[in-house]
Amino acid sequence: MNEKIHHGRNIKRFREMMGIKQEALAFELGSDWSQKKISLLEQKEEVEEELLRQVAEILNVPAEAIKKFDEESAVNIISNTFTTHDSATGFVYNQNPNFNPIDKVVQLFEEKVALMERLLESEREKVELLKKMLEK
């Protein structure tokens, strides 16, 4: 698995993850850049070190991340994490929860209402106590 990492494709992935359009990246790189030039850059397998560093800085990611990110490896790691149920990973993903999420939301809302009612009652008791103290 000594396949070459595609710098341009990685630039595109990081740019899209950051929600940055090609035009915005071109603007940040300077006046001699355009959306079309960014498109061509994202097709290059290998990007020059200095340009890679500039793009990484604009995208706010380490240049090494662009140079070394391998989508297939990342997908394998994620896939193995979410399908493994052995004790070696210490992580078990429950694909069939035994509760209804809407019921949980309703329960939390009801707990919040009950808490607010207790708080309001406590405040009323304080007011009554203060009234009694002022009358004396």
Distance of alpha carbon 54 from alpha carbon 7, whole angstroms: 13
Chain segment 95-123, per-residue pLDDT in tens: 555 667 787 788 888 888 899 999 999 99
- What does pLDDT average to over the chain? 83
- pLDDT computed for residue 1 by the predictor: 47
- pLDDT computed for residue 82 by the predictor: 53
Query: Is the Cβ–Cβ distance between 42 and 80 less than 8 Å?
Result: no
Closest CA to 17 of 53, 50, 65: 65
Mean pLDDT of all residues in 21-41: 96
34: which residues sit within 8 A by CB, 6+ positions away?
26
- pLDDT computed for residue 73 by the predictor: 64
- What top-level class would CATH report for the domain 7-81? mainly alpha
- pLDDT computed for residue 17 by the predictor: 86
Chain segment 59-96, per-residue pLDDT in tens: 988 898 888 887 666 655 555 555 545 555 555 555 55
